Amino acid sequence: MEEKSQLQCKTYAADISSIKEAQNRIKPFVHRTPVLSSGQIDSISGRRLYFKCESFQKGGAFKFRGACNAIFSLEDSEAAKGVVTHSSGNHAAAVSLAAKLRGIPAHIVIPKNAPACKVENVRRYGGNVIWSEVTVQSREEVSAKVVEETGGVLIHPFNDGRIISGQGTISLELLEEFPHIDTIIVPISGGGLISGVTLAAKAVNPNIRILAAEPKGANDSAQSKAAGKIIKLPETKTIADGLRAFLGDLTWPVVRDLVDDVIVVDDKAIVEAMRMLYEILKIVVEPSGAIGLAAVLSKYFQENPAWKDCNHIGIIVSGGNIDLGVLWESFKN
Amino acid sequence: MEEKSQLQCKTYAADISSIKEAQNRIKPFVHRTPVLSSGQIDSISGRRLYFKCESFQKGGAFKFRGACNAIFSLEDSEAAKGVVTHSSGNHAAAVSLAAKLRGIPAHIVIPKNAPACKVENVRRYGGNVIWSEVTVQSREEVSAKVVEETGGVLIHPFNDGRIISGQGTISLELLEEFPHIDTIIVPISGGGLISGVTLAAKAVNPNIRILAAEPKGANDSAQSKAAGKIIKLPETKTIADGLRAFLGDLTWPVVRDLVDDVIVVDDKAIVEAMRMLYEILKIVVEPSGAIGLAAVLSKYFQENPAWKDCNHIGIIVSGGNIDLGVLWESFKN
C-alpha cells in the first residue's frame, strides 16, 4: 500500500503509461522472449523460477528494448545526424541495430577491454566503433567529443527515461504471461533495467517484490541503499562485465524507493549459476545474465525470513554475449 | 495429392489420431518448447527459419515425448516390473525421467563410449545404469538379458509406434503456431523422430516438404532411399553421437514413402552450425541438434532447384546435451 502511494505521488523518469507507449513503439522490432523453467533448478532452489530470457533478444541482450524506444522516439530532424553512445558492449550493439533499422548512423565509443564478441556485434550491425580508455571518465570525454563533431544525439545507456521505459516492457510481457509471479530478481548496474522493470511491475501488481542482484566486486548499489545516497566506487572488479556502472540521478530514486533489497553475490556464485544455465537450461548466458540465479541460490536469500514466501520468482536473464572460450575458462577455474 | 493418398491408403506405425492421443497423454509432463528465430541467421541462409528448440525439452532432448507416451501408455500390470532400454544417451535419460514420473524402475543399457553428460542425466533421473560394449549387437544382447532378469518392458528407442507418436507431437505444436511453414528439416538416425514429425505434418498439411538431415559418416538413410531398402553400415563415424542408429522396419516405410529427400552434411558443417547456434541464437545444441541448420546452409540444399521455394522452414533442434569442454574442443579444431 505504502509502495502504491509512493508510485502515485512521486514522479520518476518513466511510468506505466510511458512504458506502454514504449511497448507499442518497439513491438514491430523486438522479440517477445520466451520464459523457460526447469524442474531440476526449481528443486535446487526450492522455489518456482521463471527465466525471462532476454539473452534471446535481438543483439543478445535486453538493451535493444531501450535503445529501440529511444531511437524511434526521436523526431526526424533530431535523428538525421545519427546517434552516439558509450558502452562496454550490449547497449552499443543495441544502439547500432536500432539505428540501422531507423536508417541513421551510430557512433559507438567502446572501452578497450570490452569482450570481443560484443565489439563484433557492434560491427555486425554497422556501428562506427571509436575506442576509449577503460575509465568512465575517458568514455564520457570521448563521447562528448564525438557528439560535438557529428552533431549526433547522445543515447545514454541507462540514465534516460526513454531507455528506462523500453526496459520496462519486459515486466509487461512477463506478468501478462505469469500474473502469479510474486517476486522479480533483476541484475543491477546503472539501474536502467531495474528501474523500468520495477516501475512497470509495481504498477501492475503493487505487492510484487523487486530484488536487485549485484556482484560483490561492484556493490555500489547495495552501498548506496545503505547510505541513502548514490555511492560511486574508486574501482570495480567482477567477471560480470555488464554490471560495472554506477546509478544515475534518474535511476537512483527508483532503486532507493521501490527496490526491496539488493542481494550481493561473489563471482564464484555467478560462474556456478552460468554453469547450471548451460548444463540444465541449455542456454548461453553471460555472467551479468546469470546473477539472478546466483542471487536466488545465495545463503543471504535462502535464509532471509523476509523472502521466505517468495515462491514464484521471475528472473531476468539479461544477456547472452559471452565468448565460448571465456565461458570454458571460467568453468575450469 | 499423391502423398495424401499414400497417407490415407497405407498403414504406418502411427497416424494423426495416435499422435493427437499422445499429445493429450503427455501434455501434463512435457514442455511446450519455444520456437526461436534470428534475422541474422535468416540473412545467411536466405530463408526464414523457425528453430523448434527441443533442446529445452525435459532431459534436454525431444526423446522425452516418445518415452513419456510409451511409458504412460502401459497398463499398470505391464508397468509394474519397470522398463528397460538401450541408448547412447538421450532416450536413456528420457526413459529414466518418464519412469520416475510414473513411479516405476528404469534399467538402462548404455554403451561405454556415451558422452558423460548424457550418462549423468540418466543417473540424475534415477535410472539404473548397466554398461554394454559399443556395438549395437552388444547393446541388444545385454538388454535382452536385463529384460529376462527383471521382467521389465523393453522400450525401443525408435522402432515403436508409441515412440513415433510421441515425437510427432512436435509437428502439432510447430504448425499450430506457424501454419505457414512449408518445409521441415529433421535429423535422421533410427527414424523415430522423422517418422512422427512427418506423419503429423503431412496429415496437417499434405503439401509440406520433409527433408532429413544426416551426417556423412552415418549416411545409411540416404543410401537406403537410393537403394529402395534398408541399408546398414559396417561402421559409422561422426561427431553427431545421436545419429548413428539405422532405420527399423517401422520407420523405414515412412522414410521411403513420405520423406522428400535426405541432405547429407559433413562434420565440419555440423560444428559450424553449432557455433552459429551458440554465438547468434545463444542456445546450447549438441551436434545432432545442429544438423538441420547445417543442412539448410549446405550447397546441396541451397543450389537444388527443387528446394528453391522452401521459404518458411521449421528446423527441429533435437537436443542440447553436450559437455562444454567437448563443444569448445570441437570449435578449436
How confident is residue A204, by pLDDT bands cut at 50, 70 and 90? very high
Instruction: Tell me which of B97 and B326 has the higher pLDDT.
Output: B97
* Angstroms from A284 CA to nearest CA on chain B: 5
Give pLDDT tens digits for A254-282.
Answer: 999 999 999 999 999 999 999 999 999 99
- Nearest chain A residue to B59, by CA: A280
The three-state secondary structure class of B83 is: strand
Nearest to A328 among B60, B282, B324 (CB): B324
- H/E element, A188: none
- Nearest chain A residue to B280, by CA: A60
Residue A260 in contact with residue A254, Cβ under 8 Å?
A: no
**The residue to which cell 565468448 is assigned:** A323
pLDDT at A180: 98
Rounded CA gap, A83 and B258, in Å?
A: 53
Average pLDDT for chain B? 94
Nearest to A284 among B34, B60, B282 (CB): B282
Across B261-287, average pLDDT: 96
What does the angle CA B23 – CA B27 – CA B30 come to, to the nearest 5 degrees?
110
pLDDT at B6: 53
**Mutation site for A-interface testing, chosen from B118, B282, B286 by largest number of A Cβ within 10 Å:** B282
pLDDT at A136: 79
Rounded CA gap, A134 and A214, in Å?
A: 21
Residue A23 in contact with residue A172, Cβ under 8 Å?
A: yes
Residues of chain B positioned with their CB less than 8 A from the CB of A285: 282
Residues of A near B (Cβ–Cβ under 8 Å) read: 31, 34, 36-37, 39-40, 55-56, 58, 60, 117, 124, 275, 278-279, 281-285, 320, 324-325, 327-328, 331
- Long-range pairs, A21-28, Cβ under 8 A, ≥24: A21/A165, A22/A65, A22/A69, A22/A162, A22/A165, A22/A166, A22/A168, A22/A169, A23/A169, A23/A172, A25/A68, A25/A69, A25/A72, A25/A73, A26/A65, A26/A68, A26/A69, A26/A72, A26/A166, A26/A169
How confident is residue A7, by pLDDT bands cut at 50, 70 and 90? low
- Nearest chain A residue to B327, by CA: A324
The three-state secondary structure class of A113 is: coil
Give pLDDT tens digits for A122-177.
Answer: 998 999 999 999 887 898 899 999 999 999 999 999 999 999 999 999 999 999 99
Backbone angles phi, psi at B61, to 5 degrees: -165, 160
Cβ-Cβ pairs closer than 8 A, A with B, add up to 50
pLDDT at A307 over 60: yes
Distance, C-alpha B325 to centroid of its chain? 24
Where are chain A's structural domains?
Answer: 2-62+160-332, 63-154
Across B83-110, average pLDDT: 93
pLDDT at B9 over 70: no
Q: Where are the beta strands (DSSP E) in chain B?
A: 35-36, 48-53, 83-86, 106-111, 128-132, 153-154, 183-187, 209-215, 261-265, 312-317
CA dihedral A98, A101, A106, A111 (to 10 degrees): 40
pLDDT at B315 over 50: yes
CA atoms within 13 A on the CB side of B20: 6
Nearest to A325 among B37, B285, B328 (CB): B328
- Nearest chain B residue to A323, by CA: B279
In the β-sheet with A183-187, what is the strand arrangement from edge to edge? A35-36, A48-53, A312-317, A183-187, A209-215, A261-265
Q: Cell triple for residue A306?
A: 523476509
- The pLDDT > 70 percentage for chain B reads 96
Secondary structure string (H, E, C) spanning A11-58: CCCCCHHHHHHHHHHHCCCCCCCCEECCHHHHHHHCCEEEEEEHHHCH
The three-state secondary structure class of B318 is: coil
Rounded CA gap, A134 and A257, in Å?
A: 31
Backbone angles phi, psi at A213, to 5 degrees: -120, 125
Distance, C-alpha B315 to centroid of its chain? 12
Pairwise CB contact (< 8 Å): B39 & A56: no
How confident is residue B1, by pLDDT bands cut at 50, 70 and 90? very low
Instruction: Tell me which of B224 and A324 has the higher pLDDT.
Output: B224
User: Residue A118 corresponds to which amino acid?
Assistant: K
CATH code of the domain made up of A2-62+160-332: 3.40.50.1100
pLDDT at A1 over 50: no
Q: Report the range out of A133-137, A196-200, B119-123 with the highest average pLDDT.
A: A196-200
Q: Cell triple for residue B66?
A: 516418445
Across A223-241, average pLDDT: 96
Give pLDDT tens digits for B184-205.
Answer: 999 999 999 999 999 999 999 9
Distances (CA, A) of A11 to A5, A228, B299: 11, 18, 58
Pairwise CB contact (< 8 Å): B37 & A31: yes
Of B177, B168, B178, residue with least CA distance to B203: B168
- How far does chain A reach from its first CA to its final CA, in angstroms? 46
Residue B89 in contact with residue B242, Cβ under 8 Å?
A: yes
Q: Which position among B52, B63, B202, B225 bears the catalytic label?
A: B63
A58 annotated active-site: no
Give pLDDT tens digits for A27-58.
Answer: 999 999 999 999 999 999 999 999 999 999 99
- The pLDDT > 90 percentage for chain B reads 85
Rounded CA gap, A290 and A319, in Å?
A: 8
- CATH number for B63-154 (one of 1.20.1270.360, 3.30.70.380, 1.10.3720.10, 3.40.50.1100): it is 3.40.50.1100
Residue B286 in contact with residue B264, Cβ under 8 Å?
A: no
Number of H helices, E strands in chain B: 16, 10
Of B271, B329, B320, residue with least CA distance to B297: B271
User: Residue A6 corresponds to which amino acid?
Assistant: Q
Of B167, B147, B140, B321, residue with least CA distance to B246: B140
- The pLDDT > 90 percentage for chain A reads 86
Across B111-125, average pLDDT: 86
Q: Which of A137-141, B64-68, B155-159, B285-289 is predicted least confidently?
A: A137-141
pLDDT at A8: 54
Beta strands A48-53 and A83-86, pairing class: unpaired
Give pLDDT tens digits for A180-192.
Answer: 999 999 999 999 9
Rounded CA gap, B277 and B284, in Å?
A: 7
pLDDT at B142 over 70: yes
B38 annotated active-site: no
* B281 DSSP assignment: I
Nearest to A282 among B275, B279, B320 (CB): B320
Across B154-175, average pLDDT: 97
pLDDT at A327: 87
